[in-house]
């Protein structure tokens, strides 16, 4: 960290030494640069201007041109070196370092700064057994039927029809953070450790407020052209006004390409879920279940802009109480568009649920079946595209989404429609050991 601070200090010193740009000065246009390509003061101010906006590419281009026009100017070389370090361009930085060392006007302080930078570049290039990535997420969603009230506003209770409440509009705030550590094992394998914490709060339906904790271990490897991952995850859901639940999951997933544009995926997951039987929910343990899930998928790149994804899924849940046993069949399809202004993903999923026994607390004369269709649109955009000075490396991502679920069931309780809008912001951090 001290070395990095020295680099930044040298960068700021060079900025000041070469020339300051006051806030009152007008922005310099690229047309002015084309008219006066060799004007040292004008080009330096333009480089400073672009650097403040996070346009490292333009800054480097300007300084490289000046370095060619003024090959003996040590201040330009130091300025260029500091920007190259910030932009993580080690190859170009090493070339400039060599030029600085050969320059007759280089000072002892300059050489000390260059030595620190050179050591930093060596440390960055050295292979590391462990790499660490942290992520933070915040989200806001608005639903028009958070309690899944039936379209008829009616509900069955112990074979009797009651008038249910109206659909509830509610807002949900969510936040999460996670830390991942990856350990390289040989050339083609790695070990992943991930810990995450999440929190979800609703404005009205506070009974659904929940804190989540999870820890995942995964082993990833490559055999031929096939990628394989073996994973295990344990998680806890701590509901504020309801019984807690625990889950252990074990699984296998993989992929293999078929041609240059086509990839097939598969996965199997075994889950063991338990509800914490307590005074707030005396029947929580009735949903204790062993689950099995199988998924098959296919990804196809139509072009650099357009890609598609399709998937088939089957799952079965074997609960402690038979009336909670069910199986699910699912088909989903997505269209992904990597457009110049944003990344857009449009999807649709159809799910069929088939229960094995009637739920006597609802309706004893019929076994529940339902089919639901969920349509969604997701838009992703880096904050740096709007505000480059806040996010020059485009590590902060914004997300906007809309989804609509239509459920059609043979029991009126589960016949409903719901729509939601959501906004999210996320930031990732590469942590150096």
For the domain that residue 52 is a member of, what is the CATH number? 1.25.40.10
Domain boundary among 125, 158, 190: 125
Q: Are residues 45 and 99 in the same domain?
A: yes
In order along its 433 residues, the chain shows pLDDT tens digits of 444 444 444 444 444 344 443 333 457 776 777 777 777 777 777 777 777 666 777 788 888 888 888 888 888 888 888 888 877 788 888 888 888 888 888 888 888 888 888 888 887 777 778 889 999 999 999 999 988 888 888 888 888 888 777 888 999 999 999 999 999 888 889 999 999 999 999 998 777 889 999 999 999 999 988 999 999 999 999 887 777 889 999 999 999 999 888 999 999 999 999 876 555 555 656 778 899 999 999 999 999 899 999 999 999 998 877 678 899 999 999 999 999 889 999 999 999 999 999 988 888 889 999 999 999 999 999 998 888 888 877 889 999 999 999 999 999 989 999 999 999 999 988 886 6
- Residue 148, pLDDT score: 87
Q: Are residues 232 and 193 in the same domain?
A: yes
Q: From 131, 195, 178, 190, select the one nearest 432 (Cα to Cα).
A: 131
Distance CA 94, CA 86 (A): 13
Q: Are residues 92 and 184 in the same domain?
A: no
Domain boundary among 125, 146, 173: 125
Domain span at 19: 2-125
Q: Are residues 314 and 165 in the same domain?
A: yes
Q: Are residues 235 and 338 in the same domain?
A: yes
Q: Are residues 68 and 155 in the same domain?
A: no
- Residue 30, pLDDT score: 67
| Domain count along the chain | 2
pTM of the model: 0.71
Domain of residue 144, CATH code:
2.40.160.40
Q: Are residues 230 and 347 in the same domain?
A: yes
Domain boundary among 125, 147, 162: 125
Q: Are residues 95 and 163 in the same domain?
A: no
Q: Are residues 221 and 254 in the same domain?
A: yes
Q: Are residues 345 and 319 in the same domain?
A: yes
Q: Are residues 140 and 252 in the same domain?
A: yes
Q: Are residues 45 and 154 in the same domain?
A: no
- Residue 263, pLDDT score: 95
């Amino acid at each position: 960290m001290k070395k990095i601070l020295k680099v930044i200090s040298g960068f700021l010193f060079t900025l000041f030494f070469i020339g300051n740009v006051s806030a009152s000065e007008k922005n310099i246009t690229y047309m002015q640069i084309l008219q006066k390509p060799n004007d040292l003061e004008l080009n330096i101010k333009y480089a400073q201007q672009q650097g403040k906006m996070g346009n490292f590419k333009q800054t480097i281009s300007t300084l490289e041109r000046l370095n060619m026009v003024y090959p003996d100017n040590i201040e330009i070389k130091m300025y260029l070196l500091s920007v190259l370090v910030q932009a993580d361009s080690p190859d170009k930085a090493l070339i400039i370092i060599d030029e600085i060392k050969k320059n007759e006007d280089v000072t002892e302080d300059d050489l000390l700064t260059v030595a620190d930078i050179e050591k930093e570049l060596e440390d960055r290039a050295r292979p590391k057994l462990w790499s660490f990535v942290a992520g933070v997420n915040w989200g806001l969603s608005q639903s028009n039927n958070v309690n899944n009230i039936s379209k008829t506003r009616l509900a069955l209770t112990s074979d009797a029809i009651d008038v249910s409440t109206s659909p509830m509009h509610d807002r949900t705030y969510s936040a999460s953070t996670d830390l991942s550590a990856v350990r390289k094992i040989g050339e083609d394998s790695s070990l992943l450790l991930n810990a995450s914490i999440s929190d979800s709060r609703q404005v009205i339906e506070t009974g659904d407020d929940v804190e989540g904790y999870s820890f995942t271990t995964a082993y990833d490897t490559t055999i031929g052209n096939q990628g394989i991952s073996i994973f295990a995850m344990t998680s806890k859901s701590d509901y504020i006004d309801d019984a807690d639940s625990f889950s252990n999951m074990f699984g296998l997933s993989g992929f293999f390409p078929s041609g240059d544009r086509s990839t097939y995926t598969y996965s199997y997951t075994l889950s063991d879920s338990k509800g914490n039987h307590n005074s707030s929910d005396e029947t929580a343990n009735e949903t204790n279940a062993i689950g099995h899930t199988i998924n098959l998928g296919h990804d196809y790149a139509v072009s650099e802009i357009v890609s598609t994804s399709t998937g088939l899924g089957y799952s079965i849940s074997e609960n402690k109480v038979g009336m909670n046993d069910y199986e699910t069949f699912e088909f989903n399809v997505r269209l992904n568009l990597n457009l110049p202004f944003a990344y857009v993903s449009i999807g649709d999923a159809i799910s069929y649920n088939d229960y094995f026994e009637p739920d006597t607390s609802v309706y004893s004369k019929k076994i529940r079946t339902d089919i639901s269709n969920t349509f969604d649109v997701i838009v992703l955009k880096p904050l740096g595209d709007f505000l480059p000075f806040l996010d020059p490396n485009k590590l902060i991502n914004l997300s906007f989404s809309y989804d609509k679920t239509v459920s059609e069931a043979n029991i009126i309780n589960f016949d409903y429609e719901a729509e939601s809008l959501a906004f999210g912001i996320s930031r990732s951090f590469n942590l150096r050991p």
